[in-house]
Structure 1
């Protein structure tokens, strides 16, 4: 099963620390990373910095386009009033194949602010119990996932 998760951190470098833990877990066979991206937003910056990993060399351009659409629409398109809703609606149609809905896009947009960071990961074959041990103490908040409610509850319980 392919899983999309977006984790928010209350510091600009939290996602970078989680990325290291995720890569170590992948090396140890606890998860397969299809692709991932980071959003780091220093407290004094007007806009966040986005870093795409290009984990899947064969489909790197496709994932780059996906992350560009997702983050560009959320963070870089000047959105005001009703235009914000329309833009989020358009993006949600484009990323629906990954299982991200409009409410999750809006949550990401509202949660990721100056002084925070975000790690988005598309993964398969995750051992949630053992993976949760790696993420313990990183102080993250799950803001979006394509998991069912039952799977989401297990994930939140495992990751604390």
Structure 2
């Protein structure tokens, strides 16, 4: 089963520490990472920074498009006006095809603020609960988004972005 998860941390560097734990979990056979991205929002910065991992160099461009679309819509689309509504609607439609709904997008938008960070991962063959245990002590608030993608949603994700 393929899963999209988003983990919030109380510091801009928390997601980087958790990334190390995520890779360790993969080495230990707990999960297979298809791709992941980090959003860091330092205090005083006007916007967050996105760091995409390119786990699979061959498909890195496709995943980069996915992360860019997802986080561009969450953090960089203006929040006011008809154009914003149209842009958010288009982004929402694109990511809902892969199992991420409007409520989850809004949760991420509201939770990630200056002084926090976010680790998002698309994984397979994993145990989200055991993975969460690896993040204990990194300031994990909660799993903001934990969507178990169906085979059809996974195919849509890979076809669209991979």
Q: TM-score, normalised by structure 2?
A: 0.83
Q: Provide the residue aligned with 2:35 in structure 1.
A: 35
Compute the displacement of 1:89 (Å): 2.4
With over 3 angstroms needed to count, the CA separation of the structure-2 counterparts of 1:28 and 1:17, relative to structure 1, is same
Residue correspondences, number = 148
1:15-39 CA-partner distances (Å, limit 9, x unpaired): 1111110011111111100000000
Contact 1:25 1:31 in 2 (8 A): yes
Compute the displacement of 1:98 (Å): 2.2
Tell me how far apart the structure 2 counterparts of residues 124 and 18 of structure 1 sit (CA, whole Å).
18
What are structure 1's unaligned runs of at least 5 residues? Answer: 149-160
After TM superposition, the structure 1 = structure 2 runs for residues 7-156 of structure 1, keeping only pairs within 5 Å, are 7-80=7-80, 84-128=84-128, 130-140=130-140, 141-147=142-148
Alpha carbon RMSD of aligned pairs, Å? 1.8
Tell me how far apart the structure 1 counterparts of residues 85 and 103 of structure 2 sit (CA, whole Å).
10
Compute the displacement of 1:144 (Å): 1.3
SS in structure 1 of the partner of residue 94 of structure 2:
helix
Contact 1:88 1:102 in 2 (8 A): no
Q: TM-score, normalised by structure 1?
A: 0.84
Contact 1:98 1:146 in 2 (8 A): no
Q: After the TM superposition, which parts of structure 1 deviate over 6 Å for at least 4 consecutive aligned residues? A: none
